[in-house]
Structures are given as structure tokens and as C-alpha cells.
A and B are shown apart, each in its own frame.
Chain A
Amino acid sequence: MDQKISLTIDGKKLEASPGQTILEVAGENGIHIPTLCYYKGTTNVGACRVCVVEVENARSLVASCCMPVSQGMMVMTNTERVMNARKLVVELLWSSGDHNCLQCEKNGDCELQDLVYELGIEKPRFDIDSPGYEIEDTNSMIQRDLNKCILCGKCVRVCNEIQVHEVLDFSMRGSNAKVGPAFDTDYIDSECVFCGACVDVCPVGALTFKQARFQGRPWELEKVRTTCPYCGVGCQMDLNINDGKVVKVTTNRDYDKPNQGMLCSKGRFGMNFIDSPDRLKTPLIRRDGELKEASWEETYSYIAEKFASIKKKNGPDSIAGLSSARCTNEENYLFQKFMRAVIGTNNVDHCARL
């Protein structure tokens, strides 16, 4: 298998491994071939035809995402024939849906919009004929507008092959084809577990994070990489910040371990607590039976005096501390240090035992 294959792409002589596709080899060598339906690590389906290239002696243009390289292959990625085909594909996609960027969340981060721009298409040569589906607005997490769907099938493959929730698939045929859960139900009534992976991969505005709508344009969002605060898997994820608020959570497959861009519903949609109005904002001290606001200074003094007097009267072992499996390593380290070095007791534990 280590035998190399020699081929030429756009006049560049290249080497590849058997089994690699033209698209993969081009990508490795910095040659840009646009795609819409390609998603690494899933079945190559050749659905969108945007990645077509010309191969010498081939009967027709070939989808570079599906075509394995062969010895002596001559590939051209940007001939007139290729460009005309790509334009045709993009114009067909454009005209078959409601691709209105004015209020689209994906404006500025849309792969179809990028292609229209890259190919310099003023307007499609066909009449725009949107299917007129009702926008699915029946849950607060994911909004689905099938009028913008280009049927690339990335959501289907991420759902079945990456997250393996096996909820999404194609239904109907021809121009009636659509993507969704079984029996054409809404997400909320289906087996969908709201991992949000389909939204992450949607190249257009068909699937969007509903709570993030109108909360910040793609170019306004700052992404801060962090670790999910829920279970022990430790998923890596990006908090998308605008105006000091977490607007949505996205992932990045390049972060690789441990979750390779996967998340669950808690990591994805469980962040409303951060700016909940119920958050504690000041220290509180119980006075006359009620918790009343206090300054940090008086609160520290209150605790310090109380702990000191207990320690003096009853000894350090009459004080205990419960640390937290939810806090950081640094905080757990300091907490046990506080109990041992400051209070002088080993009475420190946390709920791992439960």
C-alpha cells in the first residue's frame, strides 16, 4: 500500500497514496476545489457536484470528492468547462430555494454565498422557485428552514455516521426531496437528542441556533475555546461571545481529542445558566434569620472570626470542608490547602464518594 501514485493537477506534478481522492490530494497540496457536500470522515456522496473537475480522457466531468486518483492522471480544476458546470450547479441551487441573505443568520458565514461570490454570479439564469415550506419553529434550540436547504446531506451523515443518533435521513423524491426525522415530524417530536451537530455542519441557513438569532453576526462573534462544564468527557468547545454574552456554543473538529467536534445537548444548549438573573451577585450574611447583602470585607471578617473562635474552643477537627467536582483543579488544590494549612484539619471531601 505504500506504493505512490503520480498524477498532475493543474500542471503540478504530485504524489499520492492509493485510495486517496482527487479532492484530498488537491487539498493536501494547497489547490482549492470548492465543495458543499463533502464532510471529512463520512461517506463521500458526490451529491452537490460543485467539486467537479476535468480529467483527461474521462467521458465527462468527475466529482473530485468521489474519484480515487490513478497513475498518470491529468486533472484540471479550473478550465472553462469546469467553471461553467460549477456556475450551473450553483445557479440551480440558488434558484431552487429562498436564499435571501438579508435576515439570514448565516450571512457572512455561508458556503453557498461564498460560492456565488467566488464564481462571480450576478443572478441565476433560472427563475427562483422556493418550495414554500413552513419554517419549523417548534423548539427553542434549532430553527429549521427547509427553503434554504440545498440537500447536501451533511446533516444526515453527521447524524448517522459521526454522532450515530440515526435520526435524520432523506425522504420523498426528485424536487420534493427533503431532509428530516422519520415520518416528517418536527425535531422536538422526533427521536432527535439535540446534539446540534447538524446545525454545526449546515453550510447554509437551513439549520440555525435559534437562541443565537439576531444576537450577533458571524464576524462580530468572538470564539473562546474551553472545556464543557458538565460530565467527565471534557468536550472541547467554543463559546461564541458577543457584547459580553455567550450567544451560542459551536465546536471545532481540529481540537481533536477527546470529542472530535462532537457535543451533547447539555454542552450545546445548557449554557443559559451563565447569565441567569438568579446568579448570586454579592456576598450574603444571615441576619435576623434572613440572608442579607454584605461587602466582601465584612463577609471575610465574619467567617474568619467564626472559624477562629470554633478552632480555639473546639479544635480544628470541629470544622470541615466540602470541595467541588465542579470547580477547577487549581481551586480544589487551594481548597484542600485551606482546610489543611489554614484550618489545620484533614476534614475535606467532595461528592466523588456518593
Chain B
Amino acid sequence: MTNSIEEIEFTDAILAIGTNTTENHPVIGSRIKRAVRQQGAKLIVVDPRKIPLVKYANIWLRPKPGTNVLVLSGLMNVILNEGLLAKEYIETRTEGFDAFKETIEKYTPEYVEEISGVPADDIRIAARIYGEAERAAILYTMGITQHTHGTDAVKSCANLAMLCGNVGVEGGGVNPLRGQNNVQGACDMGALPNVLPAYQQVASDEARAKFEKAWDVSLPAKPGLTIMEIMDAAHNGDLKGLYIMGENPMISDPDLTHVEASLKNLDILVVQDIFLTETAQLADVVLPSACFAEKDGTFSNTERRVQRIRKAVEAPGEAKADWQIISELATKMNYTMEYSSAEEIMDEINGLTPSYAGITYERIEEEGLQWPCPNTEHPGTKYLHKDKFSRGLGLFSAIDYRPSEELPDEQYPFILTTGRVLYHFHTATMTRRSEGLNEKYPESLAEIDPIVAE
């Protein structure tokens, strides 16, 4: 998130697009409802389904699946034509506006209605709510990103926010609500094929040199494979060994038949987890790890806040914390990793990760700190891009609507879209083992249009 969770409650308008917030991020859902009920904020919900937030919305736009970019373009078209844009902000803080403006001109509400099914007048009403608000926040999640044009949708959100001067201000922002407890942190720590911690490029000689010195080893410069490419490489035999820690691609990845064939094609599959998951069942080696309640460490939440977890109970049997397992395995492979605590690892992170440099266990004992936090005097950063974008000027992108790659045809005449439920999480490895949650939500369900069902 560019901004903070607490700001959602005290803004003038909220645009929630592709986020079923009350089910996926319930506590943020409560903040939105408080903003509407108690603070008089206006709420625009964009979602093909009548999600619970719709009850609180001033207006609900219901686009056909896959037309988010179009709807966002329609909103911007109205804002441009009705002069609701932040002229001075655009002039002084952004670039690329003219090309963007030219692209948006054809996305009139009537044109958008034709393809997306959202009534033109509703687009106008929503655009005025967002455009006239002094400060407005955009919230989004996977509803707009899990498309072949997901990146376009995110850039369109950024365009919209900049168009109204809502980036770098309290109560504004472009705010992806992150789905997992530490998906933010896993990215920050460089668990990605092209970047080292704090998004320092592996292709950069300077960045590599810094880590080579600290780790006393020479590092590869070529960016690695992404998760999808890893599965493909396993499938075609290029990849021989795979080490999976705390992931369950046999449920969470697309095309499970392909995933299963890929994993079975490996010479060695090592899975480290707390349960014998569907993925672990295919492994050659399974390593038992401690869960969050059995170890110390930190998670970084969706608002970039780094917070502590603390050991409360002992791990079962011989299970060990993941950091201990990795260190012991590294040492076995003749690269010494000796850490006596998770805090010692954080000390190392502080030295190599500029945005985390000032985040020490001592400082986050009571309350977590939000990165960037470049030194131990720094109070952390509540919202990003204040006064100046991190790249200098905010960049408008000229984006044209593209239909989804796979559209209904004769063979597959229906659209299937997925959703989440409040009571279960991800591959349900954890929540399905909770008596109460199962009682409340015992089985998955499909919602079908009554006409289609007949």
C-alpha cells in the first residue's frame, strides 16, 4: 500500500475495485464500513459480484469480468471532460499526461457501457464521487490483477489516482491489499528471481558486489526463473531439483495436471512445511517446520509495517524453525550459516537492505515500523511519494483496453471466476483444521446465474 490502513477510515471517498474486503481483509473491511457509517466517506464498489461491501456503497459498478481497465478508463474520461482533474498536481508532479489524455478520449461512458455492461450514468456518478473528493483512496486486490491485463489495471489505478492528485497525500493512494501475512516481506527480502533484498537488481554489478562482499561468495548475474517458468522447466526436464518452503503449488498454482507432471519429473523435490500438504505428498524429502506460534521473527504487513511474531509454544516432535533448517542445510553444503536467533538474521538484513536499515527488534518491540526506514532514528514512513515520487515524476501510462485472452466460445460458453470466503484461507491447510471455521463454512460452493443453471 502507498498509504496506511488507518488512513482508510479518515478519507473522503474510497474506490474499492476487485476487492471483497470484508471476506479477505475483514479488519480493513471494518475500517471501510466505519468510514462510511461514522465518518461520512463515500464508497464506490466495482465488482461483478454483489459482495457484502455493496450494502455500504453509494454506488456499485458491476462490470463483466475482464473489463476493469475499461471501467477505470471510463471514470477517467468523465473526470477529464468534466474538469475534475488536479491540474497543478499533474503539471508539477507528473509526466506523460498528454499521451495518456489522448488515449482516454475514446473511452466515453457510452462506449464503456457497451462492452462492460456498466450503465454510462453510473460511471458518471462514480467519477464525480472520486473526482470531487478532496482526498480519495483506491483499494484493490486480485480481482483486477489476476488477468492477462492485470498490470494494465494496476497502472490505470495509478493514472486515476494521479489524475486527481491522490498520490502522496494522507488518505489517498493506490493501495493493493496483500493477501498473505508476509507476501510483502517475502518480496522485500528478495525471494524473487530478478532482485536481491530491497529490490536491488541481480543484474546490477554494484548491487551484486555489495552482497558478494557481505556473503563472501560470487553471485550469478542472470535473473532466474519465475514460478511458472520453474514448473515449465521441471516439465521439460531442464530443472532437476526443487526446494519448496511453505508453499502448496499442488493447490495454489494454475493447471494442476501440469504442476503434478512437472513435480513428478524432478530428480529431487524437497518440501519443507508444517503439514504433509498435497505438494509434500509428492516430495522425495520432507522437512518438518515450526509454525508461527513456535518461533521468533517478523512479518511485513500490507502497509509495509514490520511486526514481531514471538515464540509462544514448543514445536511438535523434531520440527524446527525454517531459518534453522536453512542454516543447517547450508552449513552441511559447506557454506557456513550460523545464527543463534532470528534477531541476528535481522541484524544482517539491516546492513544490506536500505529500506529496513532502521528496523531493529528493539525498536519494534511495542509497535511495528513501516518501511522505508533508512536509519535507527527514522520514524518509518506512513505514506509514500510525499512531495515527490520515488522515481521523481509520477508517470502516466497510456493504456488501451484489451479483451481477456480467453473469452467464452462455443466449446466453453461460460465465464468462471473465483472468489474467496471469510472462513478459509489460501489452500486451507490451516483453516480446514479448525473446528469452528469448518462448522461455519463446511464446503466450497459455486454460484451460478439462475438462467444458466436452468
Q: Which residue of B lies closest to A344 (CB)?
A: B220
Q: Which residue of B lies closest to A254 (CB)?
A: B366
Q: Which of A276, A280, A282, A350 contacts B433 (CB 8 A)?
A: A276
Q: Which of B38, B185, B310, B329 contacts A300 (CB 8 A)?
A: B329
User: Is B261 an interface residue when CB atoms closer than 8 A count as contact?
Assistant: no
Say yes or no: A281 contacts B181, CB within 8 Å: no
User: Is B111 an interface residue when CB atoms closer than 8 A count as contact?
Assistant: no
What is the bound-complex CA distance between A244 and B293, given in angstroms?
11
What is the bound-complex CA distance between A353 and B283, given in angstroms?
23
Q: Which residue of A lies closest to B425 (CB)?
A: A230
Say yes or no: B28 contacts A233, CB within 8 Å: yes
Tell me, rounded to whole Å, the shortest Cβ–Cβ distance linking B274 to chain A: 6
Say yes or no: A231 contacts B180, CB within 8 Å: yes
Instruction: Name A191-223 residues within 8 Å CB distance of B.
Output: 193-195, 211
Q: Bits for B298-341, please: 1 = Cβ < 8 Å to A, else 0.
A: 11111101111111111011111111001111101101010100
Q: Which residue of A lies closest to B141 (CB)?
A: A232
Q: B residues within 8 A CB of A73?
A: none
Say yes or no: A320 contacts B215, CB within 8 Å: no
What is the bound-complex CA distance between A331 and B321, given in angstroms?
9
A227-B308, A328-B185 as given contacts; A232 in contact with B238, CB under 8 Å: no
Interchain pairs with CB closer than 8 A, number: 459
Q: A residues within 8 A CB of B288?
A: 279-283
Say yes or no: B196 contacts A327, CB within 8 Å: no
User: Is B99 an interface residue when CB atoms closer than 8 A count as contact?
Assistant: no
User: Is B194 an interface residue when CB atoms closer than 8 A count as contact?
Assistant: yes
Tell me, rounded to whole Å, the shortest Cβ–Cβ distance linking B96 to chain A: 26
User: Is A68 an interface residue when CB atoms closer than 8 A count as contact?
Assistant: no
Classify chain B's interface size: 35 or more
Q: B residues within 8 A CB of A39?
A: none
Q: Bits for A226-267, please: 1 = Cβ < 8 Å to B, else 0.
A: 111111111110010100111000000001111100111110
Instruction: Name B362-393 residues within 8 Å CB distance of A.
Output: 367-368
What is the bound-complex CA distance between A339 and B26, given in angstroms?
35
User: Is A175 an interface residue when CB atoms closer than 8 A count as contact?
Assistant: no
Q: B residues within 8 A CB of A232?
A: 25, 177-181, 183-184, 301-302
Q: Bits for B273-298, please: 1 = Cβ < 8 Å to A, else 0.
A: 11110001101111111011111011
Q: Which of A162, A279, A320 contacts B241 (CB 8 A)?
A: A320
Q: Which residue of A lies closest to B335 (CB)?
A: A342
Tell me, rounded to whole Å, the shortest Cβ–Cβ distance linking A156 to chain B: 15
11 new A-B contacts at CB < 8 Å, known A233-B177, A330-B297: A162-B30, A211-B436, A224-B310, A227-B309, A232-B184, A286-B284, A322-B242, A323-B247, A330-B346, A334-B345, A352-B186
- Show 9 A/B contacts (Cβ-Cβ < 8 Å), sorted by A: A140-B439, A188-B440, A225-B310, A279-B275, A307-B333, A310-B267, A322-B227, A341-B219, A348-B224
Could you tell me which A residues sit within 8 Å of B by CB distance? 139-141, 161-165, 188, 193-195, 211, 224-236, 239, 241, 244-246, 255-259, 262-266, 269-276, 278-286, 291, 296, 299-304, 306-308, 310, 314, 316-342, 344-354
